[in-house]
Amino acid sequence: MSAAGFTGALTVIGAPGGTIHLADGAVTAIDTPWSPSAEVVLLHSGRVPEADWEAAFTAAAVARDQLRAELLRRGLLGEGELEALLRTALADGMFAFAAGFVDSCRTEESPPGHPLPLEPAADASWLVTEALRRLDVLAAFPGPPLRPRDRVLSVPGAVRPGAFLGGGRDEILAAADGRRTSRDLAFALGRGLYVTMLQLARMRADGLIASVAPGLSPASDGEDQAEAASGGATVSGLPRRQKDRPAPPARAEDLPSRAARSVPRMLRPRSEGPSRPRDTR
Amino acid sequence: MVEDALLAEMRALQDRVTGITGTAVASRDGLIVRGDTGGVDPDNLAALAATWLALAQRMSREAGQGMLREAMTRSVGGYVAIYAIGAKAVLVLIGDEGLDMAGLHRESVPALEAIGTLLVDPAPFPAAP
């Protein structure tokens, strides 16, 4: 895609799926259910009030103009600030693909435009390299690698009542209710998937939170939570759910190599032909 | 127990579709049957969902569009979708901003089937001692 200077959209089929928007071989935007968009992050942080955002969006739509221009014209954001935000969201979107499984991709030459593309567009190979680096960082933490679909739970009694931890950890402790996954927490807090997972990995290593693999019910009592804290052991008494897909790799060293096969394939130059579905499952 | 099997089906749907943050099954007359809704009040949700389903079905008829498949709100902070479960119940799904729409449309149909079966065919009462 990069070598051929492709302009259009790459629809990603997988878990997560999503869309990569490209202009002349560089990436302008990524949409995926695993990574909060720049809009979600902005609105959650309160940096741009909801009413102001909606007004800018509407005005841009009515004028058939760029949302970016409207946001800047209204002084809702600075130019550098917006660029940094979009670049961050882009990196997080690519990380989301790397943290999951890509089955196949298909190109669309004239897709609907994205409301907030990054200009200048980002280098695709840098995004992929950075995504893989982030996976390595997460894999370096002790225990089974934390995954976006792992449910997370605050360990009761780990923090003295009324203590303030700072660094975003208090919000995580409050939101880690055993139902939400790492990915759900990112959306609930309006933060990137990677920064959320990095914080969770640290907190898990510090014994503040426990993670449970998807498909299992969250632990419901102290004894089960100790099991769950060991990194995804079956919660006693509850059946293991059948899954359609094989379980993600359990060993830390597996994770970067699977992603290394899947993520660069998405951006294979056009001359190599269409991507084939992964044959290892 | 039917309610636990129901909850299991609801949780399975939540596992399969990224972005579903809450689920509930309510009766057509607005009472909660089973809720797994996070912080959202299940009783209010059930009452609203029953009314909304009735209105949505009327709207569909009024527009000459036949059987309602889904009614959905799309808001700044996410989505709420409702589906009729046969003629007697309604399924409510709450999703965040990253709700996987394609996944939702793919998985909601078999989920409705499975949940509908549970409601039609509850476990028989145990024999009297």
Q: Which two tokens stand for residue A227?
A: 């099991």
User: What is the value of ipTM here, to two decimals?
Assistant: 0.88
B15, B36, B96 member nearest A215 (Cβ):
B15
- A188 in reach of chain B (CB within 8 A): yes
- Considering only CA atoms, give the Rg of chain B: 15
Helix (H) or strand (E) holding A188: helix A182-189
- Counting residues of chain A whose pLDDT is more than 90, the rounded percentage is 63
**Distance between CA atoms of A196 and A181, rounded to whole angstroms?**
11
**Which chain B residue has its CA at the smallest distance from A33's CA?**
B98
**Distance between CA atoms of A62 and A42, rounded to whole angstroms?**
22
Give one DSSP letter per residue of B18-46, joined into a string: TTEEEEEEEETTS-EEEEE-TTS-HHHHH
**Distance between CA atoms of A86 and A117, rounded to whole angstroms?**
8
- A217 in reach of chain B (CB within 8 A): yes
pLDDT > 80? residue A277: no
For the stretch A111-167, pLDDT in tens is 888 899 999 999 999 999 999 999 999 999 999 999 999 999 999 988 888 888 998
Determine the pLDDT at residue A111.
80
Helix (H, G, I), strand (E, B) or coil at A205: helix
Q: Domains of chain B: which residue ranges?
A: 2-120
For the stretch A222-242, pLDDT in tens is 333 443 444 433 333 333 333
Residues of chain B contacting residue A187, judged by C-beta atoms under 8 Å apart: 19, 96-98
- Counting residues of chain B whose pLDDT is more than 90, the rounded percentage is 86
pLDDT > 90? residue A271: no
Chain B residues with a Cβ under 8 Å from any Cβ in chain A: 11-12, 15-16, 18-19, 21, 36, 38, 76-77, 96-100, 102-103
Residues of chain B contacting residue A36, judged by C-beta atoms under 8 Å apart: 97-98
Quickly state the pLDDT bin for B1 (edges 50, 70, 90): low
Q: What is the DSSP secondary structure assignment for residue A21, as one 8-state letter?
A: E
B16, B21, B98 member nearest A34 (Cβ):
B98
- A97 in reach of chain B (CB within 8 A): no
Buried b (16+ CB within 10 A) or exposed e, A45-54: eeebeeeebe
Angle at A8 between CA A7 and CA A9, to 5 degrees: 135
B15, B16, B18 member nearest A33 (Cβ):
B18
**Distance between CA atoms of A188 and A97, rounded to whole angstroms?**
20
Q: What are phi and psi of A12, to 5 degrees?
A: -100, 125
Determine the pLDDT at residue B64.
98
For the stretch A7-21, pLDDT in tens is 999 999 999 999 999
CB contact under 8 A, A187 and B76: no
- Chain B nearest C-alpha distance from A44 (Å): 9
Determine the pLDDT at residue B34.
94
Q: From B119, B85, B80, B118, select the one nearest B96 (Cα to Cα).
A: B80
CATH of B2-120, one of 3.30.450.30, 3.40.50.620, 3.40.50.2000, 3.40.50.1370: 3.30.450.30
**Distance between CA atoms of A189 and A170, rounded to whole angstroms?**
11
**Distance between CA atoms of B36 and B91, rounded to whole angstroms?**
12
